């Protein structure tokens, strides 16, 4: 009898070990570094009932920036590239645009002039390409662009360029009862076209820059028409305000990559009720993606965030050292 018990224990133990070894790593695109360890330790604490680090499921809201955090933002933010491509596509149909300085700069590929125009120029660019159409028409235009335009460096469609480690992180968090949100400076209607397909984040959990739409009733139905009225740019200090407006509660985790995300990280990691988590993706890999902190190609400056990370206990992810892969090879094989 005793021998049988020993044999049974050995058999069960072997089976257990085999099963443990066969369980896939949900964060397999991450190196075994301190960054991955901090993520797993926080999630383990947040989901351990009866501990002082436990976070109830209905409070497990986490927020992610998009540009530079979930996909690249170089050499231009993808939405800005969309707007530029739309100007070039639509300009022949709009002779009245020919004297517009912003249109001239775009058609001449004069990026210095476009940059020099600042927020005023950007607003004009968005007015021409993101308003005076129904939300359905706008979504069709974005979808067509995503299906037909490739990134100039990577040779893949823009919606194939999600960071694989971050996609795994989103899934890992959801598998552990977290509700994942996007809170980004990108346009809310722009991101809602692809967020669910790319990241598993439904439209109602996408928060971004927006303007007021106009409701209309016609014989063939109803519509919301896009305008630039009441434009709200969801960046920097506007992010915590937008989180309160759209979510109604303070998150317990925040993930960003630039100084524009610092207020969101501060707001989240100052949560008085639970042990929160903050993470910054640092672009350090010029071979597989880009390397920049204070001098990004277009946007994504990271200076203050690095200074404040030790004070707030934020995890800083070094893309070059902490990620085994940047993109999913099944989605984007470099040319």
Report the distance separating Cα 105 and Cα 81, nearest Å: 14
Q: Is the pLDDT of residue 32 over 90?
A: yes
Report the distance separating Cα 145 and Cα 134, nearest Å: 17
- The confidence band for 21, taking pLDDT boundaries of 50, 70 and 90, is low
282, 293 contact by CB (below 8 A): yes
| pLDDT value, residue 6 | 46
Q: Is the pLDDT of residue 18 over 70?
A: no
If you average pLDDT over residues 63-84, what whole number do you get? 97
Considering its fold, how many domains does the chain have in total?
A: 1
Containing structural domain, residue 194: 26-73+160-211+218-322
CA nearest neighbour of 67 among 328, 334, 261: 261
In a domain, 57, yes or no: yes
Instruction: Calculate the average pLDDT of the chain.
Output: 93
Burial of 292 (0-12, 13-18, 19+ CB in 10 A): buried
Q: Is the pLDDT of residue 71 over 90?
A: yes
Give the domain CATH number at 176: 3.40.50.1000
Summarised one tens digit per residue, pLDDT across range 228-251 is 999 999 999 999 999 999 999 999
154, 176 contact by CB (below 8 A): no
Residue 153 DSSP symbol: T
> In the chain, which ranges are continuous DSSP H helix?
2-22, 34-46, 78-90, 101-107, 111-116, 118-130, 135-148, 164-175, 188-192, 195-199, 238-247, 262-269, 304-312, 319-322
| pLDDT value, residue 332 | 83
Compute the CA torsion angle 62, 66, 72, 75 (nearest 10 deg). -150
Report the distance separating Cα 112 and Cα 86, nearest Å: 19
Summarised one tens digit per residue, pLDDT across range 75-116 is 999 999 999 999 999 999 999 998 899 999 999 999 888 888
| pLDDT value, residue 118 | 84
In a domain, 87, yes or no: no
In a domain, 204, yes or no: yes
If you average pLDDT over residues 213-220, what whole number do you get? 91
Summarised one tens digit per residue, pLDDT across range 116-149 is 888 888 889 999 999 999 999 999 999 999 999 9
Q: Is the pLDDT of residue 262 over 50?
A: yes
| pLDDT value, residue 335 | 52
CA nearest neighbour of 171 among 21, 288, 30, 17: 30
| pLDDT value, residue 246 | 97
> Tokens 């590929």 identify what position?
109
- The confidence band for 213, taking pLDDT boundaries of 50, 70 and 90, is very high
In a domain, 59, yes or no: yes
| pLDDT value, residue 62 | 98
If you average pLDDT over residues 57-70, what whole number do you get? 98
Length of the chain: 335
If you average pLDDT over residues 155-172, what whole number do you get? 98
What is the distance of C-alpha 32 from the center of its chain? 23
The set of long-range contacts for 317-320, using a CB threshold of 8 Å and a minimum separation of 24, is 317/35, 317/279, 317/280, 317/281, 317/282, 318/35, 318/282, 318/284, 319/281, 319/282, 319/283, 319/284, 319/285, 319/288, 319/289, 320/284, 320/285, 320/288, 320/291
In a domain, 104, yes or no: no
Sheet hosting strand 221-232, strand order edge to edge = 133-134, 221-232, 206-218, 179-187, 61-64, 253-256, 277-282, 315-318
| pLDDT value, residue 9 | 46
In a domain, 229, yes or no: yes
Copy the structure tokens of residue 39.
């993520």
| pLDDT value, residue 19 | 53
Q: Is the pLDDT of residue 8 over 80?
A: no
In a domain, 196, yes or no: yes
Other C-beta atoms lying within 10 Å of the C-beta of residue 106? 25
């Amino acid at each position: 009898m005793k021998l049988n018990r020993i044999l049974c224990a050995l058999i069960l133990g072997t089976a257990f070990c085999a099963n443990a070894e066969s369980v896939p790593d949900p964060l397999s695109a991450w190196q075994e570094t301190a960054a991955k360890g901090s993520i797993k330790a926080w999630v383990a604490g947040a989901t351990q009932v009866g501990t002082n680090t436990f976070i109830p499921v209905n409070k497990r809201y986490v927020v992610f920036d998009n540009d530079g955090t979930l996909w690249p933002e170089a050499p231009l933010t993808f939405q800005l590239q969309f707007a530029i491509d739309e100007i070039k596509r639509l300009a022949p149909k709009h002779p009245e645009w020919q004297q517009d300085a912003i249109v001239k700069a775009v058609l001449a590929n004069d990026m210095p002039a476009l940059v020099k125009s600042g927020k005023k120029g950007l607003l004009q660019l968005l007015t021409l390409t993101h308003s005076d159409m129904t939300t359905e028409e706008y979504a069709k235009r974005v979808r067509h662009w995503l299906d037909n335009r490739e990134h100039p460096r990577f040779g893949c469609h823009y919606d194939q360029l999600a960071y694989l480690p971050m996609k795994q992180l989103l899934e890992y968090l959801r598998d552990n009862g977290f509700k994942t949100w996007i809170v980004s400076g990108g346009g809310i209607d722009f991101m809602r076209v692809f967020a669910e397909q790319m990241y598993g984040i439904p439209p109602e959990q996408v928060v971004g820059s927006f303007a007021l739409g106009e409701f209309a009733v016609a014989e063939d139905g109803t519509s919301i028409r896009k305008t630039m009225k009441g434009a709200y740019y969801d960046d920097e200090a506007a992010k915590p305000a937008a989180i309160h407006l759209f979510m109604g509660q303070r998150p317990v985790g925040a993930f960003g990559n630039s100084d524009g995300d610092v207020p969101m990280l501060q707001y989240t990691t100052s949560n008085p009720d639970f042990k929160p988590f903050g993470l910054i993706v640092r672009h350090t890999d010029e071979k597989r993606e880009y390397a920049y902190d204070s001098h990004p190609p277009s946007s994504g400056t990271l200076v203050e965030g690095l200074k404040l990370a030790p004070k707030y206990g934020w995890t800083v992810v070094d893309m070059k050292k902490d990620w085994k892969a940047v993109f999913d090879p099944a989605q984007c094989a470099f040319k």
